[in-house]
């Protein structure tokens, strides 16, 4: 199900970001929710631009979790299958208050 890293409620458009090419090819804005398979340092530059973050791996003490809290981005980590269930362009509501997507 996942763990809430930073509480909040955001509606937005899914942008799948798994590698450096995704960073270059996708224009991330506050209306976007980043969904990523792996937590990696490439995501750090996007956190200040994104509205929310969902990751398949990672935990509440990971570096990306600390960054998400610093940027006050609603974030849920450890969501098994997130990148299979969600696709670029999906409109979703990320409820990191109740742990719902």
Supply the residues annotated as catalytic: 63
Largest CA distance in the chain: 33
Burial class (CB in 10 A: 0-12, 13-18, 19+), 23: middle
Strands 52-55 and 32-36: parallel
């Amino acid at each position: 199900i996942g763990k809430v890293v930073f509480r909040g409620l955001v509606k937005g458009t899914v942008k799948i970001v798994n590698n450096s090419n995704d960073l270059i090819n996708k224009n991330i804005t506050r209306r976007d929710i980043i969904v990523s398979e792996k937590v990696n340092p490439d995501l750090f530059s996007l956190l200040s631009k994104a509205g929310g973050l969902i990751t398949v791996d990672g935990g509440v003490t990971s570096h990306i979790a600390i960054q998400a809290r610093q940027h006050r981005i609603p974030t849920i980590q450890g969501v098994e299958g997130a990148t299979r269930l969600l696709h670029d362009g999906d409109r979703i509501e990320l409820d990191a208050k109740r742990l719902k997507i």
